Chains A and B, each alone.
Chain A
Amino acid sequence: MADNIIIKIQNLSKRFGELIVLDNISIDVTCGENLIVFGQSGTGKSVLLKCIIGLLNPDSGKVLIKGKDVCTLSQKELDAVRKNIGFLFQGAALYDSMSVRENLEFPLERHFSLTQKELDERVMKTLEMVSLEDAVDKMPSELSGGMRKRIGLARSIITEPEIMLYDEPTTGLDPITSKEISELILNLQKKLDMTSIVVTHDLVCANIIADRAIFLKEGKIIHRGKLQEMETSEDPFLKDFFSKEIINEQ
């Protein structure tokens, strides 16, 4: 394996009953790269992310994170791998019963031996990165959609992971907030030197973040390369998809 490949997906397949969601997919992601995963709803984009993090077991194939196959790891080994991966869920998945501070402290308390002062400092520093220091003692129910995404992002990066997985980071947000979140993702990625895989429909978001993109259709990768190549592709399906997305953006 090349030294700079941090995520290697080999011949990954996943089906739910009769429905084939991922069909023999192979992807390499290099260190520090931002990979965008495009595709219509229900084409297995989120399933792909969940297979990478080990939330779902693929039917066949391998997911290698820094050379370790997450499908064959013991729970302890998988936990160690997960410590290095951040995951931003579509709905942010903040713990409702905990305040913003407790949400952020949660992964830190379990993986690091920090004093309360160190915890406080780390929480405030991370909230500063997402410009939400004032929300530290709020409950998730008091936050707007955009704020929830930012706090979700803060919770994901507080352990300073090497890899970030984003599941529709801008879905449900207005265009301005969506652009802000996309720029924030890019800034954090540069600042923390992370590798990212971003599942999205949002062309504005993709244009801001993408180094490279893949397009999933019916469980298969139908195109991979630069985003601009996809947008200008003569493939009727891609042409149709991107023209509709552009109209949606407008």
Chain B
Amino acid sequence: MKTPKIIFKNRLSFEEQVYNFFATISGLTVFVLKFFKEVFVPPYEIPQVKKHMDELGVKTFPIVSVTGFIIGLVLAMQTEPVLRTFGATDYLPGSVAVSVIRELGPVITALIFAGRVSSGIGAELGSMRVTEQIDAMEVSGVHPFKFLVVTRVIATTMVLPILTLYVDFIAMVGAYIAVAISSEMSLAYFSHSVVSALAFGDFLPAIAKTFVFGFIVGIVGSYKGFTAEGGTEGVGKASTTSIVIASLLILIFDMVLVKITLWLWPII
């Protein structure tokens, strides 16, 4: 299976832009199919997967910690006056928890992950492509797709759900701090309200979709990097277009997956 050639030029005509759009979609599709063809075939390169999980995942913890904390804090601060108007501040922990766990946690973590990781993979593989390191790997009898792409995509797919769970938790810590500042709600009451507001239908589908988002981040970054051309300029383009495409696909797939989730677990 061959990926269609993207046209690399400074100024593209309208027809070339349309061509590149469809070439990217078909190239990504081919790339995804190739991933599923290769992922079950040995060697499995487990040490590489672990290495990427560490590099791509663990190093994202600081930025998602800050983001998660601020999301929870700001959401609670914004919601509290509205609920107070209706005398419903008791519902604050539950409403924040549902918002964060169902939607904000997975999507914002995925977008930040895309910004940090997809562009990083695009730049790294792009640079390897233009400096012939990928060719060098191929001539030494090692399959670069397996070694470079499959391992990274597995790592991003496995890491994002863990990051999302962590962000959900940190966001609730942020929310509690906002609540504790503005009212006298105890931690026990806050925790109880959160747990009783959440159901299976809130939790599992939200985490399940992060596997899809993680896969998107890995596969888009790898595709753009692996097919980079045109020297350092090509590497820059691979990096920036990785973020744009990954972010768009995350939002589009979120829309589709939310619809499926609501169909499977309707909100009463």
Does A pair with B?
yes
Shortest Cβ distance from A112 into chain B, in angstroms?
11
Contacts of A80 in B (CB 8 A): 141
Does A199 have its Cβ within 8 Å of any Cβ on chain B? no
Which among B129-137, B159-167, B168-176 touches the partner chain?
Answer: B129-137
A interface residues, tally (CB under 8 Å): 24
In the complex, the answer to whether B141 meets A89 with C-beta atoms within 8 Å is no
* Of A83, A90, A97, A107, the contact of B132 (CB 8 Å cutoff): A90
With both chains docked as a complex, state the minimum distance between the C-beta of B126 and any C-beta of chain A, in angstroms.
Answer: 12
A94 located at the interface, meaning its Cβ lies under 8 Å from any Cβ of chain B in the complex: yes
- Does A18 have its Cβ within 8 Å of any Cβ on chain B? no
Q: Is B142 an interface residue (CB 8 A)?
A: yes
Given A83-B141, A107-B142: A93 and B127 interface contact (C-beta under 8 Å):
no
Instruction: Give the nearest-CB partner of A50 in chain B.
Output: B135
Chain B 136-169 near chain A by CB (<8 Å), digits 1 or 0: 1111111100000000000000000000000000
Residues in A neighbouring B6, C-beta threshold 8 A:
none
The number of chain B residues touching the other chain, given as a range, is 10 to 19
Q: Tell me, yes or no, whether B194 is within 8 Å of chain A by CB.
A: no
Does B133 lie within 8 Å of A93, measured CB to CB? Answer: yes
Q: Whose C-beta in chain A lies nearest to the C-beta of B136?
A: A93
Residues in chain B near residue A83, CB distance under 8 A: 141
Q: Assess the B136–A89 pair: CB atoms within 8 A.
A: yes
Q: Is A95 an interface residue, CB under 8 A from the partner?
A: yes
Tell whether, in the assembled complex, residue A106 and residue B138 are in contact, meaning their CB atoms are under 8 Å apart. no
Enumerate chain B interface residues (CB-CB to A < 8 A): 124, 127-128, 131-133, 135-143
List 5 A-B pairs, minimum CB-CB distance, nearest first.
Answer: A93-B136, A93-B132, A79-B141, A107-B140, A87-B139
Given A55-B139, A90-B132, A106-B142, 13 additional A-B pairs, CB 8 A? A53-B139, A83-B141, A87-B136, A87-B139, A93-B131, A93-B133, A94-B133, A95-B133, A96-B131, A97-B124, A110-B140, A111-B141, A159-B140
23 interchain pairs, CB-CB under 8 A: A53-B139, A55-B135, A79-B141, A80-B141, A82-B139, A82-B141, A83-B141, A85-B139, A89-B132, A89-B136, A93-B135, A93-B136, A95-B128, A95-B136, A95-B137, A96-B127, A96-B128, A96-B131, A96-B133, A107-B141, A107-B142, A111-B141, A159-B140
